[in-house]
Structures are given as C-alpha cells and as structure tokens.
Amino acid sequence: MSRPFASWDVYKAIADPNRRIVLDLLARGEQPVSAILVRVDLTQPALSQHLKVLRDVGLVRQRRQGRERIYALNPKPLKEVSDWLHHYEEFWHKKLTALGEHLERKHGPRRSKEVSH
C-alpha cells in the first residue's frame, strides 16, 4: 500500500516538541508572534526559527497586520500525516482483535477480578 503524500519535511517539523506546542497554540486560532512567545519557553530568535520551519513546510501561514506578524495553522499537511497513520491504526486494531479472539478461544472469556475487602 502506498502512503498518501506528505513531505518528509513535515514529519521532521512535527518531530520537534517546541514546534508541536506552537501548532497546538495555533490550533486555537490566529495569533501574533508576541502572544505565542509568552506561552512558550523560547527566546524570540528561537521561536522565529521554529516558525520559519513550520512556514517552509506549509504548516503555518503568516500575514502582516501593521507591525505584527500574525500566524495561522494550515492543517492540510497534518491531515496527510493523519491519513498515513490511520493505515497503521487499522493494522494494529485488526491484530489486537485477532489476538483477543485467539486468547478467548484458548482460555475462555476473560473474567474481571473481584475486589475483596
């Protein structure tokens, strides 16, 4: 099965925990850099570098409003990642269901342990 296209750069971008925090913040709506900066444990230059990476891979959009830069999430590349991961969720669901059925056939239905006081 071929996976839906999602640039490997997107995977690299979301691998960084600081960038995931920024994406989580932007999932709540557009925000200026100053609002993001007060919510992350980063210097302004470090945040700018992370935002550049996210912008370069298409995960965020930037617009200017006066002197401020406003950032917004572009979720399309994340959907592509989600679609790719969905294949593996289905795979593990089928495998674990089959394992559960096998164990029930071999050992009978699982009984919950009674709590004794």
HSE value, Cβ hemisphere, 13 Å, CA-based, for 107: 7
φ, ψ for residue 74, nearest 5 deg:
-110, 100
pLDDT at site 81: 84
3-state secondary structure of 104: helix
Domain 1-106, architecture per CATH: Orthogonal Bundle (1.10)
Contact call for residues 6 and 77 (beta carbons, < 8 A): yes
Report residue 103 as tokens. 């164990």
pLDDT at site 114: 56
Mean pLDDT split into 10-residue runs, the chain, 117 residues: 58 94 97 96 96 95 95 92 83 86 84 57
Q: pTM here?
A: 0.69
pLDDT at site 47: 97
